[in-house]
């Protein structure tokens, strides 16, 4: 149980290639003041995007990959202290809601990249931010559980 509420290095969206792909081709949903940008890719398309892909396609299918990034615009938050605070609140809200998202979403054979973007100039409390993230993740899990067309 202690590993449920973690946000480790492997969970962070760091690849520039994947981040650019996320912002170029990703879909979005809003729960003001948080915007969620996401991509959902099937195992077949992972080989093209992965810099060092696993050799076995079955290995990819067994591993549901979920990586997340957070951001606060420097145009809205001029001071780095406030940007860092907002990003810390977003990471904490995601960290606390991740176990319920993983239990409700069907990630088998999919890579899901998420990016939480804070869009308002005023900072909400931790509880309010966590509630907004919960709303977004619930809507995303419903989308993930729908059959692929």
CA 132 – CA 46 distance, rounded (Å)? 29
CA 5 – CA 19 distance, rounded (Å)? 24
CA 2 – CA 55 distance, rounded (Å)? 31
Answer yes or no: is pLDDT of 21 > 70. yes
The per-residue pLDDT for 91 is 95
pTM: 0.84
Q: Which fold has domain 9-145?
A: Ribosomal Protein S5; domain 2 (3.30.230)
- Which band of pLDDT confidence, cut at 50, 70 and 90, is reported for residue 58? very low
Answer yes or no: is pLDDT of 64 > 80. no
**pLDDT tens for residues 133-147?**
999 999 999 998 887
- Least confident range from 38-42, 60-64, 130-134: namely 60-64
**pLDDT tens for residues 25-46?**
999 999 999 999 999 988 665 5
- Give the DSSP H/E element, type plus range, for residue 98: helix 80-104
The per-residue pLDDT for 31 is 95
Domain definitions of the chain by residue range: 9-145
């Amino acid at each position: 149980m202690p590993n449920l509420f973690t946000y480790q290095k492997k969970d962070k969206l760091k690849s520039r290639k994947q981040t650019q792909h996320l912002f170029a081709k990703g879909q979005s949903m809003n729960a003001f003041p948080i915007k969620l940008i996401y991509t959902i890719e099937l195992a077949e398309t992972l080989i093209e995007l992965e810099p060092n892909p696993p050799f076995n396609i079955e290995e990819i299918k067994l591993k549901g990959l979920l990586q997340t990034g957070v951001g606060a615009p420097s145009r809205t938050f001029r001071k780095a202290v406030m940007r860092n605070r907002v990003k810390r609140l977003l990471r904490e809200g995601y960290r606390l809601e991740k176990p319920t998202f993983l239990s409700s979403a069907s990630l088998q054979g999919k890579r899901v990249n998420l990016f939480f973007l804070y869009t308002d100039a005023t900072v909400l409390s931790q509880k309010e931010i966590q509630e907004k993230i919960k709303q977004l993740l619930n809507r995303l899990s419903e989308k993930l559980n729908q059959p692929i067309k």
